[in-house]
Structure 1
Amino acid sequence: MCEIVKGAVLIAQDDKNTYLGKIANSYDSESIFNEYGTYGSQYNSLSVWNQYGTFGNEYNSHSATNSYTSTPPMIIKNKKILGYLSANKNLRGSITPNLLKALCKDEL
């Protein structure tokens, strides 16, 4: 699974299609697994790991951690939607942020 999503980008389903980083090893400055980078920091507003930010807040409709949203961040590679980064277990083609991190952070 990690090889499939390696290099994919996260794009929010908001009105700006906000770029939220990419799925890459933790040394990549744009990686969601780089905790010192913009997209991997738990403090940055563009990070899915920021529980107070738009994309990591469990109550925001564009958040990866909202269990009920139908508009979570998309996982896109080669201009195709592979799936969604979402805590919504009923959303087909989704993987939770924590599961993705557990499976792939050290594999990429």
Structure 2
Amino acid sequence: MATNTTTALEETTSSTALLAPAQGDSPLEAEAETASLSLRRTIEERVTQAPLRLEIRLPIRGLRVKDVLALRKGAIFETQWPADEDIPGDCGGQQLVWAEFEVIDKKLAVRVTRLA
């Protein structure tokens, strides 16, 4: 009978050892951690490379449908926006920047003056 008790005790001890957490990271845990970090880096790379649309808009008050229908090349619209004031820049409906217009090499450009 003593033999049966010893065998049962050994089985219980070895089962408990399998369930107990190992000291330090096991190879499987280390591999899972590495895979998780790799996935995180891949997601970050893809997200940071995603194209976004930055919208810079000037309000033109008093513009009517007849004005739009009468648009011709060279038409000039006066805005209510002060020339010395920065213009808000939005991305996805959220203001991100304040900016100003510039002409660079005969092209209209937007210079970010400050973050919102």
Band the TM-score falls in, shorter-chain normalisation:
under 0.3
Larger helix proportion of the pair: 2
Which fold has the larger relative contact order, with Cα–Cα distance below 8 Å and residues 6 or more apart in sequence? 1
Larger strand proportion of the pair: 2
TM-score normalised according to structure 2 size: 0.26
